[in-house]
Amino acid sequence: MREFTLADIATAGRGFLRRCLLRRKLFGLWMTVCVGVALGYAFLSTPEYEVTTKVLPYRSERSALGSLGGLAGLAGVSIPLGSTAQVVPSDLYPEVAGSMAFRAELAERPIQFSVGRHSYITYFDSIHRPSVVELFSKYVLQAPLTAYAALRSALSPASEAGSPLDAVLDSLGIRKLSAGAVLTLDGMKDRVTTVLNKRTGIISVTVRMPDPVAAADLARLTAEQLTTAIIHYESKKASEQARFLGEQQRASQARYHAAQRALAEFQDRNKSLNSAVRSIEGQRLESEFALASELYRGITTQYEAALVDEREDTPVFTVLEPSVVPNRPSSPRKLRLLVLALLMGVVIPGCWILVSPIRAVDGAAELNPSPR
């Protein structure tokens, strides 16, 4: 096999440059096309503004019920032990923010725009005017999806507002959305994103909107609604634990009073009697009373602590980076698009010219096969 030398590489390079100069019109054509597409995309697309707010959750760890479980077990009472575990793990925060229920609630909240206040659904369904690029993407690039959504909306049975079915669904807590609302909420996934940094625990909420004021306000509302939802989930667990301890406290109180009355009645009936049977029965009633008294005092203490923990054992969220109204759009980035277009205008025809001799040699070999 013949080895290539520096002279061979230099000769090939000069030949490539010579072919490029001879095909300079091809470079001009490709650069014109690429720059035209980039400028068209830059000036015909709607400017988008991006805002990021960062939130840091803090949670205090404390033991829940201590050593009361052994005593409660002897009395036949089951009390959950351990530490106040986290109901919603931090890894699930983005899942909570990306759920359909969360997005539907967020999309109905009023957002401050540069002019007026509108909800997310109202703005994108009635006010927002899509750009040429968005229309091209919707009706050309995504034509099958658009046609499928329109066909599905046309074939789906229409229900009047206030129908008996809507009343039944409302009573069951089931949300019913139209096909247009579902499409709008699906588009919200790309505009509102939540990311958790597992190393630091910081939650980053990024919002992209055509209006700078709306982007900042929607980022604030998203972080606020996410923290409210998590605190609600956490406080619900603490409320359930306080309710359970309250039931056990009332049961232990009734048991304490019953044991106290039984011991008092036994002592009143057997003041003048002195027998082994009386002594054993008295010891049994005293032991039962002591156990009931200890259990009642312990559960009462834990119940009062649970009432305090119901307000304290919830995460505290600190806003590290509040949302700020951006002063310039994040996309489209015209200078970056122009540089990329110029680069593509040089690379594409250069690759074409580079492989043209190889294709010509392969074609000649097919037309004139060498004799065997």
Which string of DSSP letters, residue by residue, matches 266-294? HHHHTSS---HHHHHHHHHHHHHHHHHHH
| 3-class DSSP state of 319 | strand
Is residue 326 within 8 A of residue 51, CB to CB? The reply is: yes
List alpha helices for the chain, DSSP H. 6-22, 24-44, 68-74, 93-98, 100-107, 120-122, 132-136, 143-155, 164-172, 179-191, 212-269, 276-312, 334-367
pTM of the model: 0.66
Query: Which among 168, 295, 222 is positioned nearest to 55, based on CA atoms?
Result: 222
For residue 154, pLDDT beyond 80 = no
For residue 169, pLDDT beyond 70 = no
Q: Kindly report, residue by residue over 293-351, the tens digit of the pLDDT.
A: 888 888 888 888 877 776 666 778 899 999 999 999 998 888 898 999 999 999 998 88
Is residue 206 within 8 A of residue 51, CB to CB? The reply is: yes
Query: Which among 309, 312, 288, 299 is positioned nearest to 247, based on CA atoms?
Result: 299
- Distance in angstroms (rounded) separating the CA atoms of residues 114 and 111: 10
145 or 320, higher pLDDT: 320
Is residue 319 within 8 A of residue 223, CB to CB? The reply is: yes
Name residue 355's amino acid: V
Q: Kindly report, residue by residue over 54-80, the tens digit of the pLDDT.
A: 999 886 655 444 444 444 444 444 444
Residues 6+ positions from 86 with CB-CB distance below 8 Å: 59, 234
In the numeric block, the tokens 């805002």 are attached to: 51
pLDDT at 111: 95
Query: Which among 266, 299, 294 is positioned nearest to 280, based on CA atoms?
Result: 266
| 3-class DSSP state of 329 | coil
Name residue 212's amino acid: P
Is residue 52 within 8 A of residue 219, CB to CB? The reply is: yes
> Percent of the chain, pLDDT > 70?
74
Q: Phi-psi category of 239—alpha, beta or left, where left has phi over 0 and alpha has psi -120 to 50?
A: alpha
